[in-house]
Structure 1
Amino acid sequence: MSLDFEYRYVTTEEREEFVKQNAPTRVYDAYMRLNDGAAQADLWRLVTLNACGGIYMDIDATLVWPLKHLIQKDSEALYVTLDKNGHYTNFFLATAPNNPIYLDTINKIVDNIEQEKVSQGVYHLTGPMVLTNAINDKEVESKSRKYVAIQGTFTNEYFQYIDKPRGKWTHKKPEDLLK
């Protein structure tokens, strides 16, 4: 739906290399402690977007409207809310480089990893709740996910994780999230 944008797919190995080359040692060390691909991707996408700017979407997300209709040229960032609870999501992120909220989120994730705050799982360790807490009461440009992108195009978990049965982040035991 957005042919005027460049698309890139990044492998697990490329993610690690990018974090190593573009983040402080403390962030890279925290990244390397993560034992879950989704949690790694949570941190990587923030590091990447904070360094380079751009738009991130999960591979199983589908745009509702073309990006040029969603993001204004003078926008610094767009945050997407989940309808049910008002939390912000991280399956769609859009920002200019050097976003202070992203930097705060990265630091909160690193603190969570260093303090081994795994009891509430990925959602609170590296995921959307960390971004939601970083935004807190700041005024940001946001839209409901129903107007931006729908997550979960791969609705059958068996086929989405055919190489790793019960491999989805929601099945990870908290004690298995960190090395």
Structure 2
Amino acid sequence: MLLFFISIYGRYPNFKEVLFYKRFFHNNSLKNLFLEMVRRYEEIENFQMNLSDEELTSYFYDIDNTSCIPKNIFMTLASFDDLEEDSKMNHIKKQWEVLIDCRIHRYNDLQCREMIEKNFDQRVVDAYDKLIPGAFKSDIWRLCALYLYGGVYSDVHIIPEEKSNPNVVLDSADYIFCIDYPTSSKYIYNALMKMPKGSPIALQILDAIVSNVENEYYPICDLEVTGPGVHGNVLKSILNVNEFNEGFYDYSVENKHQSVLLLKHQKHHNRKHEFEYNISLHRNTLFLCRYKNYRREMNMICKKEHYSKLFDKKQIYHNADNADNADKEDVSDQSDHSVEELY
């Protein structure tokens, strides 16, 4: 196992990675990996810990197995008013609560803007208002929510896979992103992300998006304005890679070491499955994405044109001399928890 890890990543695993593999694969042979890591540390630091094999084994089994995943799961939709009680989106919400033992915080359009206006400078507010597609606005809001409170952002169509153990994965790294393989191994699928509170990565991505909007940027692909393309560009620069590979990465800022875990977003291998895509790690399906009636339901809820059509017509930005305040219309309160409860 150790040689396999080194051959893949070119380094020894850190303690968080050992914890992940120990819990996710339930493999006691990882004890040898842990012991080898300790010996490797002693060799590099030229420092002997003078622990017996029995003591090392005891330390290994004492590694904390208690789940400490972030309890904040953020979701957004133009409005949750018209959802039937037994709707698929409400079923997905319940599955998150049961399988992840978390608190879902669902925000409508008005609440998203209020959060941004209350907590961020005018540049971010102006960028949010300048964008027309709701999906693009959501790209800004989710970064703001994760920066303010920490936790996980998930699109409303993503559901934890009941047969897997997504709790362990969400607890295994400080940051979690998904490689957007259906589009590009250089893109990050920002429909599912985990970040800590006060994340500098969230701020860097947010700043790149705001700059794009201020300059009314029209790239070749619509995903490079606020979505997977710009997320990928920023994260590639941070991790110093040209493209992404599944697995763990180290990230350091201000002498603080954190871990980044990249999962794989891909087309579901079973075309008859209810969900068209999935998110996996080492072929273990962790989340299911986009049920087959999702787009039709979204068209009924969100009355605006799809962002791809607006992009093709070069109509994703409000003109400065023709400000449109339609996006600020009052929408009834649909938050499942007040903002104060997030602290």
2:176 aligned with 1:78: yes
Q: Is the 8 A contact 1:80 1:143 kept in 2?
A: yes
- What's the C-alpha RMSD, in Å, of the aligned pairs? 2.1
2:316 aligned with 1:177: yes
What is the letter of the counterpart of residue 142 of structure 1? Answer: L
Q: Secondary structure at the match of 2:194?
A: strand
Gaps spanning 5+ residues in structure 2: where? 1-94, 240-248, 250-259, 266-278, 281-285, 319-343
Aligned pair partner of 1:114 in 214, 220, 232 = 214
Aligned pair partner of 2:288 in 150, 155, 159 = 150
Q: Secondary structure at the match of 1:8?
A: strand
Aligned pair partner of 1:62 in 134, 159, 171 = 159
Equivalents in 2 of 1:57, 1:163: separation in Å?
Answer: 18
Tell me how far 1:110 sits from its aligned partner: 0.4
Q: Is the 8 A contact 1:39 1:126 kept in 2?
A: yes
Q: Secondary structure at the match of 2:167?
A: helix
Q: State how 1:102-141 maps to structure 2 within 5 Å.
A: 102-120=202-220, 122-137=222-237, 138=239, 139=249, 140-141=260-261
Gaps spanning 5+ residues in structure 1: where? none
Tell me how far 1:100 sits from its aligned partner: 1.6
Identity across matched positions, percent = 20
- Counterpart in 1 of 2:198? 98
Q: Tell me: higher relative CO, structure 1 or 2? Use CA pairs within 8 A at least 6 residues apart.
A: 1
Tell me how far 1:69 sits from its aligned partner: 2.2
Deviations along 1:128-147, whole A, 9 cap, x unmatched? 11110010150432111332
Task: Return closer, same or farther for 1:95/1:23 CA change in 2, 3 Å cut-off.
Answer: same
Equivalents in 1 of 2:190, 2:289: separation in Å?
Answer: 10
Q: Is the 8 A contact 1:57 1:92 kept in 2?
A: yes
Tell me how far 1:169 sits from its aligned partner: 2.2
Equivalents in 2 of 1:121, 1:32: separation in Å?
Answer: 21
Tell me how far 1:120 sits from its aligned partner: 3.6
Equivalents in 1 of 2:302, 2:106: separation in Å?
Answer: 20
2:168 aligned with 1:168: no
Tell me how far 1:14 sits from its aligned partner: 0.3
Q: Which segment is superposed worse, 160-169 or 111-120? A: 160-169
Equivalents in 2 of 1:54, 1:170: separation in Å?
Answer: 29
Task: Return closer, same or farther for 1:154/1:28 CA change in 2, 3 Å cut-off.
Answer: farther
2:163 aligned with 1:43: no
Q: Is the 8 A contact 2:166 2:287 kept in 1?
A: no
Equivalents in 2 of 1:62, 1:173: separation in Å?
Answer: 29
Equivalents in 2 of 1:37, 1:6: separation in Å?
Answer: 24
Q: Which segment is superposed worse, 146-155 or 45-54? A: 146-155
Equivalents in 2 of 1:143, 1:40: separation in Å?
Answer: 24
Q: Secondary structure at the match of 1:78?
A: strand
Q: Is the 8 A contact 1:60 1:154 kept in 2?
A: no
Q: Is the 8 A contact 2:218 2:225 kept in 1?
A: yes
Normalising by structure 2, what TM-score? 0.48
Task: Return closer, same or farther for 1:114/1:165 CA change in 2, 3 Å cut-off.
Answer: closer
Q: Secondary structure at the match of 2:107?
A: coil
Deviations along 1:46-78, whole A, 9 cap, x unmatched? 0110111011111112223454122126x3211
Equivalents in 1 of 2:304, 2:118: separation in Å?
Answer: 32
When the two structures are aligned, how many residues end up with a matched partner?
Answer: 178
Normalising by structure 1, what TM-score? 0.88
Structure 1 moving runs of 4+ over 6 Å = none
